[in-house]
Structures are given as structure tokens and as C-alpha cells.
Amino acid sequence: MAYRPSRSRAPGGAAPTGPATLRRANLSLVLRELRDHTSLSRAEIAQATGLHRATVSNLMAELLERRLVREVGVEHVGAIGRPRRAVALHGAHVGALGMEINVDYIAVHGTDLSGRSLVERRVVHDAMGSGPDNAVRRLGLVAKEAVEAMGRAGAVPSGIVVAVPGLVDVTRGVVTLAPNLHWRDLPLAEQLSSMLGPRSVPVRVDNDANLAALAEYTSGVAAGTPHLVYLTGEVGVGGGIISGGELLRGADGFSGEVGHLRVDPNGDQCGCGRIGCWETKVGLAALVRAAMPEQAYGLPGMPVPDPGERVADIARGLASGDRRMMTAVAQVGEWLGLGGSILANLFNPRVIVIGGYFASLAQWLLPHAQDQLRRLVVAAPAAQCRFVASTLGFGAASRGAASMVVNHIIDDPTILDSLPRPAP
């Protein structure tokens, strides 16, 4: 499904000028059509893009030479068996590396241009306790291993996007504030680039919930739903908002900080320093504290377990009817519905996709959350907003990060010309 960043449009709606600019724009137009369909004939591309048949043939010759598309042979269409020569997105040699750093793990997802998964991994890492220097070093090592693994699969990454749970200055690649990682004004793109050395491909940084929302919109359970809110269910809670098929970023790119909506003025202190933020009610730390306080986050001397293991422990307890866990999950579910209703009243989404641990415990959380949503959304009888559990698991943000790299190439495939060549 298409994700169309508004910056790819010519400013003021003017047509791109100059032969090189025009060619770049047309290459991008064709690649986008191919990304959104399994395969297309040249005639279908001409029809969809409004380009002349001869122009499409020329563009296709260039894309074939660049190995970004491939012929998929002659297909027979309809009862009379009319032949149709189709092409599909290819680019098996063009890699896209998505990464995510969170409170207790680093995730990587490497794909080729067509979205074929090449590397998928999650490593336990205590980013909260290790400090930014160690975290960047670890990110660099994990990135290097992923680049090598992608190389063995025949793909050279053309870019890296790192998802971070916090406010990100996307233009400069600086993490302005990541409360749960204790990071402030960290020039992550620059530091990771220098760790990867002079041959490093461009490194960008973005907000984890925005990237996960993009992953949901392009390949998740509600793919193609143009009005969609995504919620990360980790220790922190963030939101990514797709409105009218576009990612809503706000004036400074800081929209979606839904975890810090104040929902309880008499509540607990949040990682951001404020009192009663939504994530102090529904974040994984809040659930663990209520469901199994002996394993709460931040207890001295406690090793950081994989978040998946903690959630699996809770799921086992719930399945066996553990009273304390049932009460904890009901409470979290109600708060989830309350916060969800604020978002539904604001953005009128068709679905609220819940990710991370919310998805793993959806069968216990959702009845409570959906009840609250029905009660608290003003337009509830007509608006049909519902919670849906993500199927992308903890990897949603890294998958979205890889999609973002692919989008950059599709926006301008000529950037591949200026990338560093792989080491001989």
C-alpha cells in the first residue's frame, strides 16, 4: 500500500522542471506503482501514471539496467489467453536496514528493495542503564553484523534508519529527548555514522511510533486504512498517526507523544518528570509492577530480561487464571480504553492498532479497552473505531524503519549512484 510523503511533491504543486529532475520524478512514479502492485504491464503503468507508452518503455529500460525491476515473463489474462508481459519490483542487491533501540532491546530488520526480509533479529540490551555511549557502540556492532548478514544474502544497504522512543529532530538526526533512555540532545545519526566508518551509508533517525505506524499502514493487520492510530506498548507508550494516508508529524515532528497525556493528576511520576502520564498507567513497567511486583523494572540488582519473556510470564499467569494478574490487566485495559478515547475524539481513526506487549496480551486487554472506548468516544455509535492487535510484534518499528529506507530510494532512485561501493 502506498505511503506518499508530502515532501515528494513539487513545492506549490508546480511540475518538476529540468530534464534530470523530470527523469528522476518519472522513475519514482513508476517505482511507486510497482511497489503498490505485485506486477504490472508497461501499458498498465502508462495508464496509472499518465505517462506516454514510449516514456514508460525508456524508463523501464533504465530501471531494468539498474536491476531495480525485473521481467516476470508472459502472463495470460482472461479466457482468450491474451499475453501480458509484466514487470515487478526487484532490487535484490539494494538493501534497506531498519533498526530500533528501546529500553531493553535493539531490533534490526533488513530487507531488499522489494521488501523481502533478509535479516530479522532482536538482542537484549539495557539502554536505560548503560548510558548513551554504550548504547551507540552496541547499536554500531549490531548494525555491522546486520550489514554483513545482508551482504551474504547479496544485498548492500543503501541507508539505515534508527527508530528511537522519543522526540527526534529528523532533519539533523538528533534525539532531542528520550525520557525512558535518559537521552537528551544526542546526535545519534552522526555518532552511529562515525562508528560505521567512512564507507557508511546515510544514517537517519526517526520516532519509533511513527515508523511502526508506517509499517502497519504498509504491511500490517490494517494495511491501507488511511485513518489509523498506532500505539507502541513498551515501557514507554508512543503514538503514530496516519491521517488521510499520510504520517502526521506536526510543526516540529513531535506529534504523537501520547504517552505523556496527563490522565491522572494524582498519579505516579513518569520518566519525563511529569505526574500522571498515560504511560505510567499502561506502559509495560506499570503492568509488571501490578502483575508481578517482585520483578518490577528498576529494582536494584535485577537483570534486564527480554521483554518478550516478561510478557510470556504474564500471559501464562493469565491463562491459568491468576487473580492478581487478571486485576492488573483489567486495570491497564481500562486505562488503555480511556486514552484511546481521547485519540479517537481527536483524530477519528477507523482503527487503533496496538503493538508491542499490548498485542501479546490483546485477548485480555481488549474487552476492557473496547468497553471504555464505546463509553467515552462522543461519536462512538457512528464512528466505528475499534482496537486491533498488531501482528508485527516487537519488530514493527524496525520493519517501518526499513520501509522508510525503501521509500527514500523509491522517491529518488538516483541516490543509489552516489552511495559508497561495497568493500572489495
Residue numbers at the binding site for Zn ion (CB under 5 A):
260, 270, 272, 274, 277
Of residues 52 and 274, the one with the C-beta less far from Zn ion: 274
Supply φ then ψ for residue 389, to 5 degrees: -80, 135
> Position of cell 461519536?
379
Q: How far apart are CA 261 and CA 277, in angstroms?
A: 5
Shortest approach of Zn ion to residue 257 CB, angstroms? 8
Of residues 172 and 274, the one with the C-beta less far from Zn ion: 274
Of residues 35 and 260, the one with the C-beta less far from Zn ion: 260
Please report the DSSP string for 114-179 in residue order: T--EEEEEEEE--HHHHHHHHHHHHHHHHHHHHHHHHHHTT-EEEEEEEEESSEEETTTTEEEEEG
Of residues 157 and 239, the one with the C-beta less far from Zn ion: 239
| Entry field: residues in the chain | 424
Shortest approach of Zn ion to residue 277 CB, angstroms? 3
Shortest approach of Zn ion to residue 304 CB, angstroms? 21
> Which three cell numbers mark 419?
552511495
Which among 47, 6, 15, 5 has a CA at the least distance from the CA of 30? 47
Q: How far apart are CA 134 and CA 137, in angstroms?
A: 5
Shortest approach of Zn ion to residue 283 CB, angstroms? 10
- Give Cβ neighbours of residue 169 (< 8 Å, ≥ 6 apart): 175, 176, 252, 253
Of residues 182 and 350, the one with the C-beta less far from Zn ion: 182
Of residues 212 and 277, the one with the C-beta less far from Zn ion: 277
Q: What is the CA radius of gyration of the chain?
A: 23
Shortest approach of Zn ion to residue 105 CB, angstroms? 21
Shortest approach of Zn ion to residue 272 CB, angstroms? 3
